[in-house]
């Protein structure tokens, strides 16, 4: 059974990790409500970083809900993403979507990212 945890080794932790992805992203999944940037890494596993700006999502409760949805969907799809460093950026309006729609959008994003990685 594949590992489905989301421990510290699965997160982008420092500014250098984020800069690595922002400056040299090789994969991109864009949507009206979010942007996902990714880059191959030598970490040996997929790692996720979140950028949920207060400028775009005003209420903390909504920012936290988005983080939960993104982390949970990533946790379930991380085995298909090999060793990518990924940054998720929320855009305006993502918080107005229902949690179910947010989950569906993120599942679709992970699947598209896995597909671009393979081919």
Report pLDDT digits (tens) over 49-69: 999 999 999 999 999 999 999
pLDDT band at 16 (very low <50, low <70, confident <90, very high): very high
Dist CA 98 CA 67 (whole Å): 14
**All residues at 6 or more sequence positions from 62 whose CB lies less than 8 Å from its CB, including other chains:** 95
Q: Which two tokens stand for residue 80?
A: 């298909």
Domain segments of the chain: what residues? 8-118
User: What share of the chain in percent tops pLDDT 90?
Assistant: 80
pLDDT at 119: 64
- The answer to whether the CB of 63 falls within 8 A of the CB of 94 is no
- The answer to whether the CB of 27 falls within 8 A of the CB of 37 is yes
- The answer to whether the CB of 1 falls within 8 A of the CB of 78 is no
For domain 8-118, give the fold.
Ribosomal Protein S5; domain 2 (3.30.230)
**All residues at 6 or more sequence positions from 63 whose CB lies less than 8 Å from its CB, including other chains:** 52, 54, 57, 90, 95
């Amino acid at each position: 059974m594949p590992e489905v945890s989301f421990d510290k080794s699965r997160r982008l932790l420092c500014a250098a990790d984020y800069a690595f992805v922002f400056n040299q992203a090789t994969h991109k999944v864009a949507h009206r409500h979010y942007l996902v940037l990714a880059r191959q890494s030598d970490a040996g596993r997929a790692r996720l970083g979140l950028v949920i700006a207060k400028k775009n999502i005003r209420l903390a409760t909504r920012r936290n809900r988005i983080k939960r949805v993104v982390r949970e969907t990533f946790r379930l799809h991380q085995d298909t993403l090999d060793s990518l460093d990924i940054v998720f950026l929320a855009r305006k309006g993502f918080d107005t979507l229902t949690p179910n729609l947010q989950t569906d959008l993120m599942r679709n994003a992970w699947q598209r990212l896995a597909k671009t990685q393979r081919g």
